[in-house]
Amino acid sequence: MHSSTHRIPFPGHEEWYIEGTLDQKGGADVPTSGWPIALILHGSLGHRDYLYQRTLSPHLPLDTFRFDFRSNARSPGPSWQYAGFAADVADVHAAAAYLRERFGYRIVLVVGHSRGSVVGLRWVCEDTTERRARGLEGEVKGYANVSGRWRMGKIRDITQHMLPDFQTKGYHDWHVRVASKPVVARVHAADIDRFAAYDSTIVEREFPLDVHVLTVHGMRDQVVPTYDGIIYSRVFESRRERGGTGRSTLHLIEESDHNHKGHYQEVNDTIVRWWRTVEDGTVQGGMAPAWHPPGEASDGKSKL
């Protein structure tokens, strides 16, 4: 596998760009025109090698591109915004255009985590609509929704601790570590309002009827309730009532939290196994088959 770093500029903003990693299974010299590729999108204040994202790429049977959203990690941009969904969607559009125009790739799979999944879902809606308006078919065949939030207003449940600072200082400084470095993200009360008002229900109206969706959610997720994953699964399956052919598959990980730490292998294996069924036309939908660690039989006993 050949890995290369790419910087995608933004017109009118020479100081801003998206930096990402392109992993090519066939090597740098293999023609890519018409070749399938997966986009891998990180979550809030994450980066392209965050959590399971870097380890997922080698296991997928297609080229991949993962990048740092602007104002995150190695992609400079305007000040990071707690509810900067629109800017993130613009970044996905820019990355997609770069891959298509420079390499001729077809974007057939999107894997998004948390905020990255919310914006990735909107990108699929917008991109498919734009392509069809130009007389082109949609490219995306599958979408892996990992820890995505549906009920945006529930963000207030986990930001109550910010209220005293909003009242006394007008803002709250969120201290986190990104790529092992301390980062301070400033949040205002209006940011919470904008976050809560973001329309995730666009998928009910505009998400393609023929795209298969896998939803992966941890049952110990304290950032996005597990029930949000169940809602997504139901919404995507309901497309069949409108003649949709895309199937919805749900995989819950019992001991996993929002970031799936300690469960990266299960996340990756589940995505790869599901994607293979999408490619070979055997995807069934419903609950995903139970995952068993390598070396363990389906009855929980070790294989000898």
Average pLDDT over residues 4-20: 90
* pLDDT exceeds 70 at position 298: no
Distance CA 138, CA 180 (A): 38
* pLDDT exceeds 70 at position 168: yes
Please give the structure tokens belonging to residue 199: 């329309």
Which amino acid is located at 6 in the chain?
A: H
Phi, psi of 301 (to 5 degrees): -90, 150
Please state the domain extents for the chain: 2-150+201-287
140, 70 Cβ separation under 8 angstroms: no
Distance CA 273, CA 154 (A): 32
**Percent of the chain's residues with pLDDT above 90:** 82
* pLDDT exceeds 80 at position 301: no
Q: What angle do CA 52, 38, 155 make, to 5 degrees?
A: 55
Q: Which of 169, 197, 228 is nearest to 82 (CA)?
A: 197
Average pLDDT over residues 269-286: 96
pLDDT of residue 10: 83
Q: What is the pLDDT of residues 93-152, one digit of tens each?
A: 999 999 999 999 999 999 999 999 999 999 999 999 999 999 999 999 999 999 999 999
Q: What is the pLDDT of residues 227-247, one digit of tens each?
A: 999 999 999 999 999 999 999
CA distance readout (Å), 30 to 24, 26, 27, 166, 280: 9, 6, 6, 54, 24
> What's domain 2-150+201-287's architecture?
3-Layer(aba) Sandwich (3.40)
Which amino acid is located at 85 in the chain?
A: F
256, 219 Cβ separation under 8 angstroms: yes
pLDDT of residue 70: 92
pLDDT of residue 236: 98
pLDDT of residue 295: 66
Mean model confidence pLDDT for the chain: 93
Higher pLDDT, 73 or 133: 133
